[in-house]
């Protein structure tokens, strides 16, 4: 495994649509392993392949309950609405945003071997999945946020 460089906004790759994964081989497995290691190293909760410069439909998510890898993810059901907590992004340093997301989703895709998988998620996990799937479609949180802001650092509040 290796830590990869995280692509930073405004790199144009972040605005491109990712391609469907058709080959489930060792290179894909290495990409998923590297993405997880990169996400953990950066203290993130999710990472999409375009964020490491690869235009493939692959994401990793871990909100603290264990790693979830998904290839060719697609959100097939949405319900409810949430707007907090503010979202950030490993590819957009120093900004956060208030983004309206579905409270509950159903997401389908494949595992690293090409086997079908389906998950239901709500709350923070649903938010993380929606954020990462947006990356695969060239959508950044700053494109859809109701409000984008720089968070106040604790030392600035004093």
135 annotated as a binding-site residue: yes
25 annotated as a binding-site residue: no
SS3 letters across the chain:
CCCCCCCCCCCHHHHCCCECCCCCCHHHHHHHHHHHHHHHHCCCCEEEHHHHCCCECEEEECCCCCCEEEEEEEEEEEECCECCCCEEECCEEEEEEECCECCEEEEEEECCCCCEEEEEEEHHHHHHHHHHHHHHCCCCHHHHCCEEECCCCHHHHC
Catalytic residue among 69, 81, 118, 132: 132
User: Distance between the two ends of the chain, CA-based, in angstroms?
Assistant: 42
Asked if residue 142 lies in contact with residue 97, where contact means CB atoms within 8 angstroms, the answer is yes
Known catalytic membership, residue 37:
no
Task: Return binding residues.
Answer: 89, 131, 135
Active site residues: 132
| Residue stretches of the annotated binding site for Fe cation | 89, 131, 135
């Amino acid at each position: 495994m290796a830590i990869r460089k995280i692509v930073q906004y405004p790199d144009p790759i972040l605005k491109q649509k990712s391609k469907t994964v058709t080959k489930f081989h060792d290179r894909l497995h290495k990409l998923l392993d590297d993405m997880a290691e990169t996400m953990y190293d950066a203290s993130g909760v999710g990472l999409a392949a375009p964020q490491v410069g690869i235009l493939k439909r692959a994401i990793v998510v871990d909100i603290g309950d264990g790693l979830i890898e998904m290839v060719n993810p697609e959100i097939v059901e949405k319900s409810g609405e949430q707007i907090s907590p503010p979202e950030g992004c490993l590819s957009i340093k120093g900004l956060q945003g208030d983004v309206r997301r579905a409270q509950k989703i159903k997401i389908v895709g494949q595992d690293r071997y090409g086997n079908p998988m389906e998950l239901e998620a709500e709350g923070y996990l649903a938010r993380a999945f929606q954020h990462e799937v947006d990356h695969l479609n060239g959508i950044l949180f700053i494109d859809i946020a109701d409000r984008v802001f720089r968070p106040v650092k604790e030392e600035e509040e004093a």
